[in-house]
Chains A and B, each alone.
Chain A
Amino acid sequence: MQIPYEVQARPDTGLYNAKLGIWLFLASEVMLFGGLFSAYVFLRLGAEPGLWPRGLLDVRIGTFNTAILILSSVTVVLAWASLKMRKFNEYRKWMMLTIICGAAFLFIKLAFEWPPKFSHFGAFIRKDKLAEYEPYLGNEYMRSKKLEPRLEISGHLHAVEVDVENADPAALGQFLEKRHLKVLKREDEGKRLEVEVHSPADAEALGRVLGKITKPDEPDPRMREASRTLPGVKILAFEVQPDPANEDPTNEDNEKPHFNPRKRNPLADLIHIKAGDVDTWSAFVPRHSTYLATYFMITGLHGAHVLGGVLVFCFLWGPGAALYKTNPEHLANRVEVAGLFWHFVDLVWIFVFPLFYLL
């Protein structure tokens, strides 16, 4: 049983089935990304002053990725045209280029864009303690210029000061060894330590080290476990090598997007932030702020669509290309349909790039 109009267009609509299908699917995708962008707008408009960062993203990488994606949209059309002209080897060449571009986009995102964020530290200072960190926040200057206040100190987390009095010593020792963390200072008969960390993830894990068992004589092992002090390790302070924005807070330039990103000064003095002065802290991960949550969600979902497209192209380049021998027009239609999807993915990126990187 053959479904009509799989390859040939239906006369009154002028469409073959898959073409109509992909346009309908793209309509739903417009609503999906539309919903996500609407969320961005909603959250941005409702954000408290000072909680929406700018200039966090690397514009060079973003521009390069934009160029790659636009190039791949061109190559996929050339692939389709080659098929329509029945030039199979040309088709394979252009399709492979498209795949390479798509894969490069993903590789650059996952190797150069996302990982540096996971080791970038940020701490939002409590509103009532802002004055104490004025040299790094520069809020008087911000107020004088009628700009939004700066509420965060960010940079590279060099070390944390911790209270380990209630920590299980074996668990702590194992933890430090496993993660190769050095103890820089020991104070108060070993009850307070300054531990060098490689990333905020280390600090988070340190805060979850198990506490001492308070009921060692308890026969039931589960009850023994449940009697551990909570928390085991208490973080007392952060030692942070500041970002340019905190090293020189009155320089407005630090908060704008730049094509060449500002580098952190490795010789800057470390900032000592007391844990009690911190509202929330984390790496630049989704839970850091709604801005980053939205960024990761939208670029993540977009990236998933890029991946899907690349996988479909791989199929059409590889095993799927066998269809050329029996029904080349059908293969051309499949490439056209995949190409339409790819153009949409590109279009979404054309919105993502200015919204997140340039504004």
Chain B
Amino acid sequence: MSAHVGQERHAPHDDHHELGWWRTYIFSTDHKTIGIQYGLTGLAFLFLGFMLMLVMRWQLAHPGQPIPVIGGMLQAIFGEAAFSRDALGRMGMLTQDGYNSFGAMHGTLMVFFGIVPAAFAAFGNFVVPLQIGAPDMTFPRLNMASYWSFFISCVLMVGSFFVPGGAAKSGWTSYPPLSGVADMGVGIDPFWNGQSLWLVGMIFNITGSLLGAVNFIATIIQLRAPGMTWMRLPFFVWAQFVTAFLLLLAFPPLEAAGIMQTMDRLFGCSFFMPTGLITSARDAMGHAAQWAGGGSPLLWQHLFWFLAHPEVYVLILPGIGIVAEVIANNTRKPLYGYKAMVGAIFVLGFLSFIVWAHHMYMTGMGAKVAAFFQTTTIIISIPSVILLTALLISLWGGSIRFTTPMLFAVTFLPQFGIGGLTGIPLAFNAVDLYLHDTYYIIAHFHYVVAPGTIFAIFAGVYYWFPKATGRLMNETLGKVHFWTTTIFINGVFMPMFLQGMAGVHRRWYDGGAAFDLISKVPVFGRNSLEWNVVSSYSAFLLALAQLPFIFNFFWSIWKGQKVGRNPWDATTLEWDAPSPPPHGNFDKELHVYRGPYEYSVPGAEKDFTPQTEAPADAPKPQVTEAVLVK
């Protein structure tokens, strides 16, 4: 046993053998490459999900009108499942089924294929091992397997648009019995149809997430560098740690539910099909589809929301972590309330498992059950507010540098604030009964995720781009991107609060035109349908606003200003590694001596003191056996 220890320590590059192009860039086990793979895939899906919504927003602003310019092309690509000719014979009008499928897929792709890969998997994979001083993740091959499981799910989801019947159209929530009878009939394959592919795709996605979560937790526990105690961890690592636990424990019930719904669709089971249901569903041969009954649609809702509530915290926590890093760095002072933030994030994670039925107030639950969930939901707002407040107070007295990442990070705070505060009324079922399934809900959750997490993702991209590439992104383009995005994203979502309170329902193909109360009664000067036009045109301009970012991102990879290891003068460990870090990450032995945010330490020469900088009077550390990297 002891013969293995005490061997000569090789420098990281000595035992690196030449891997071919495929093993280096595609089937890599290096966390940085995998992180970039997740990042590019995630950003691509955020873009695709956005495009789906733009088509829907055209329909909402101009109901019944074909998509201009590209309408014919869209109809040719997506087929009759989503588009048809309008009354005047022009191609490219979004049909009702098309609207529903684009809506369901917008939600699914954004949540599971955009935000989670980009915010959790991409930044987590790239940054966490570097920030804790590890050479890689604990299980590099498992890491690669996770990405490829995820990739398979991406292929299935995108492919589902092109099968007969089109993509899943029962909402991202996939509620039965609708999801049990959707996408079946003559001409539609019993397996290769939108809803079934959605289910199988979700199973692969969940598997990838679960394996990734195991990796993150094991890495953070086991591979911290010597001296990196728990309370010296950057807050981003804490955020990823809790997020990984949420994914690990909350996803499996949805996997179970997905298996059950797949069995309902493929084997005719009745897990979710109630007794006595009469439908017009037909199987591929044209026979009336039959179910034995005895199932419960409510069961799906419980299993789904048991995941989906912790899922929304999965969506926000990595973002809060990114914002914490950027704010500490750009205020040149420590985070305010680091310990409180760590405590809050654990309480938040725990509570997130016991609030799920606030998505189900309309199901006729009894008063006692409703009271329980209302209480826990209100309580969970406390740690959220602690986190937000701590970040806000962190700005106080800071020497603020308004770099592009900082602009996004600071703007995250009030936008997330709006999202969170508009959620508080929804905690009460009396209010929720009125606002459930209206545009108010859409505005609430989009504020948290869109000007919330996506802004945090942008901040993270601009912030860590120099570490990944050795070059800075262009600041001017960054500022143009920031200002246009902020203005237009608020243009999209702010009117939706008004529409929702006026009663405009979600998922309406005509945007509410059929209701006089919505289409004729003015709300703040315009009737609700006119606000549709405001939202839609803001969305189109928002799309244009992303062009500087996309250009900047790719152009800077080759032509950006070259920088050294630590262009932001940051304290955390990732800035000690070369830019970009080699396989194995660090070119020297690491020992951590101090906390993560020692900026402007009184008496210090520079306004930042890296974690690895030894205090003048520190003894040389003993290199213990257990720590030697072989």
A4 is an interface residue with CB less than 8 A from chain B: yes
Nearest B residue to A298 via CB reads: B256
Tally inter-chain residue pairs, CB-CB below 8 A.
160
Nearest A residue to B256 via CB reads: A35
- Tell me the A44-99 residues at the B interface (CB within 8 Å): 46-48, 51
> Do the beta carbons of A17 and B139 come within 8 Å of each other?
yes
A340 is an interface residue with CB less than 8 A from chain B: no
B28 is an interface residue with CB less than 8 A from chain A: no
A48 to B217, CA, bound (A): 44
| Chain A interface bracket (under 10, 10 to 19, 20 to 34, 35 or more) | 35 or more
Q: Mark B246-259, 1 if CB is under 8 A from A, else 0.
A: 00111111011101
B421 is an interface residue with CB less than 8 A from chain A: no
Q: Mark A11-48, 1 if CB is under 8 A from B, else 0.
A: 10101011011001101110110111011001100111
Q: Tell me how far the C-beta of A11 lies from the nearest C-beta in chain B, rounded to whole angstroms.
A: 5
A44 to B605, CA, bound (A): 70
Within 8 Å CB of A39, what residues of B? 256-257, 260, 271, 299, 303
B291 is an interface residue with CB less than 8 A from chain A: yes
> Do the beta carbons of A293 and B136 come within 8 Å of each other?
no
B296 is an interface residue with CB less than 8 A from chain A: yes
Within 8 Å CB of A25, what residues of B? 210, 214
Q: Mark A282-303, 1 if CB is under 8 A from B, else 0.
A: 1001111110011011000100
Within 8 Å CB of A208, what residues of B? 285, 287
Cβ contact of B210, chosen from A28, A43, A48, cutoff 8 A = A28
B76 is an interface residue with CB less than 8 A from chain A: no
> Do the beta carbons of B271 and A29 come within 8 Å of each other?
no
A160 to B493, CA, bound (A): 62
Cβ contact of B5, chosen from A8, A11, A20, A42, cutoff 8 A = A8
- Tell me the B242-295 residues at the A interface (CB within 8 Å): 248-253, 255-257, 259-260, 263, 267-271, 275, 285-287, 290-295
Q: A1-B16, A17-B138, A27-B248 known; A35 and B626 CB under 8 Å? A: no
> Do the beta carbons of B269 and A11 come within 8 Å of each other?
no
Nearest B residue to A5 via CB reads: B222
A338 is an interface residue with CB less than 8 A from chain B: no
| Chain B interface bracket (under 10, 10 to 19, 20 to 34, 35 or more) | 35 or more
Q: A21-B218, A29-B252, A48-B275 known; A42 and B299 CB under 8 Å? A: yes
Q: Tell me how far the C-beta of B509 lies from the nearest C-beta in chain A, rounded to whole angstroms.
A: 30
Within 8 Å CB of B506, what residues of A? none
A231 to B215, CA, bound (A): 54
Which A residues fall within an 8 A CB radius of B? 1-5, 7-8, 10-11, 13, 15, 17-18, 20-21, 24-25, 27-29, 31-32, 34-36, 38-39, 42-43, 46-48, 51, 124, 208, 230-231, 280, 282, 285-290, 293-294, 296-297, 301, 327, 329
Which B residues fall within an 8 A CB radius of A? 1, 4-5, 12, 15-16, 135-136, 138-140, 142, 210, 213-215, 217-218, 221-223, 248-253, 255-257, 259-260, 263, 267-271, 275, 285-287, 290-296, 298-299, 302-303, 306, 583-584, 624, 626-627, 629-630
Question: What are 18 A-B pairs at a CB distance below 8 A?
Answer: A1-B136, A2-B135, A3-B136, A3-B140, A4-B627, A8-B626, A15-B221, A20-B138, A20-B222, A21-B214, A24-B213, A28-B210, A28-B213, A32-B255, A43-B299, A230-B287, A286-B269, A294-B271
